[in-house]
Amino acid sequence: MESGDLRVFRAVALEGTVTAAAAKLGYVQSNVTARIRQLESDLGKPLFHRHNRGMTLTTEGRLLLEYAERIVGLLDEAAKAVASSEGPLGPLAIASTQSCAAVRLPALLADYHRSYPEVELSLSTGHSASVLDKVLRYEADGGFLSGPWPEEEVTAVPAFDEEIVLISPPERQDVEALAGEPMLVFTDGCHYRSVLERWTREHAWALPRIMEFGTLEAIVGGVSAGLGISLLPRSVVSKAEAAGALCVHPLKAPYNRIRTFFVMRRDAYVSRPLELFLQELAKACEKLDEAVSGAAAGEAPDLGHAQTLRRGHRKGGIIA
């Protein structure tokens, strides 16, 4: 069994078909098929159920995938460790929820790219569960999400605090009159969706019909058009609110604040590009804290999460 075979096996397991796996790996399909069959022959066990819709892992296949994830992840980490000794270069994969990527990350990523142009920076977006999954599968060096996560596997660095608001069509200004309106949300696994469902139950509203959307823009546009209601960070909908396209309803604690964290695997190697990214994140958080404290006259600045980040850098980039 070779590491290349495990990479092929892992790709087929994640993609679900030989065709998709071959396209992702840049291999011809016959090569992928041959390597899977050879791996099954070497192990003496079938790793996949073959059916019309593709390939599904057998019990033995699911067990092998757990080891393949760890082995491939460690090999990739080893390559990063060697490359990082030469300076800030090589890949840095960041994952994020769409709301954080839309509002908080453009300036941060632009500053990082200007400072370290040799780093191959990439960003992927999805809901909280998919972001966490990428981090756990070593597909991302770190990810921005609001939770939850398995504490035994993940290190979480506080990043951004967000005010969360209920949004409705502009003509719907009475909150209680919104009971029963469809909820426009991301697919299951979105943290904002779970918060909205808890808020609905607490207000004794019958759980309304769910409309699932794939993008942040579709949710905001759907609410503006009168399809229903949603719950999102105020920073995301501020422009639509100012334009009169939405009605924003502030919420009471504990539903009015959500903290976004930057999460990493506890066993992951902190490469030089990732260490520098954590430093840039700490600077961005500190600037945001200063802006917030300056806007709230007479209030002491809340530098808690920025200080936590700085303490983490003194420990080598990992928060224990």
32-77 residue pLDDT tens: 999 999 899 889 989 999 988 889 999 999 999 988 888 888 787 7
Is pLDDT above 50 for 219? Answer: yes
Taking residues 131-148, report their average pLDDT.
89
Rounded percentage of the chain residues whose pLDDT exceeds 90: 26
The token pair at 164 is 């969360």
Is pLDDT above 90 for 277? Answer: yes
Is pLDDT above 60 for 300? Answer: no
Burial class, 50, CB count within 10 angstroms (exposed 0-12 / middle 13-18 / buried 19+): exposed
Is pLDDT above 80 for 140? Answer: yes
Q: Identify whether the C-beta of residue 228 lies closer than 8 Å to the C-beta of residue 222.
A: yes
Model pTM? 0.63
Taking residues 179-189, report their average pLDDT.
80
Taking residues 198-224, report their average pLDDT.
82
Q: Identify whether the C-beta of residue 9 lies closer than 8 Å to the C-beta of residue 66.
A: no
Q: What is the pLDDT of residue 86?
A: 56
Taking residues 285-312, report their average pLDDT.
49
Q: How confident is the model at residue 307 (pLDDT cuts 50, 70, 90)?
A: very low
- Lowest model confidence (mean pLDDT) among 241-245, 255-259, 284-288, 297-301: 297-301
Q: Which of 186, 171, 163 is nearest to 245 (CA)?
A: 171
Q: How confident is the model at residue 124 (pLDDT cuts 50, 70, 90)?
A: very high
Taking residues 175-193, report their average pLDDT.
80
Q: What is the pLDDT of residue 176?
A: 80
Q: Identify whether the C-beta of residue 64 lies closer than 8 Å to the C-beta of residue 48.
A: no
Beta strand 210-212 with 183-185: parallel, antiparallel or unpaired? parallel
Q: What is the pLDDT of residue 188?
A: 65
Q: What is the pLDDT of residue 255?
A: 81
Q: In 10 A of CB 8, how many CB atoms?
A: 25
Mean pLDDT value across the chain: 82
Query: Residue 154: left if φ>0, alpha if ψ -120 to 50, beta else—which one?
Result: beta
Strand locations in the chain, DSSP E? 48-51, 54-57, 90-97, 119-126, 142-145, 154-168, 183-185, 210-212, 230-233, 247-250, 257-265
Is pLDDT above 80 for 127? Answer: yes
Q: How confident is the model at residue 292 (pLDDT cuts 50, 70, 90)?
A: low
Rounded Cα gap, residues 45 and 177, in angstroms:
59
Q: Tokens 């200004």 — which residue?
A: 173
Q: How confident is the model at residue 317 (pLDDT cuts 50, 70, 90)?
A: very low
Is pLDDT above 90 for 109? Answer: yes
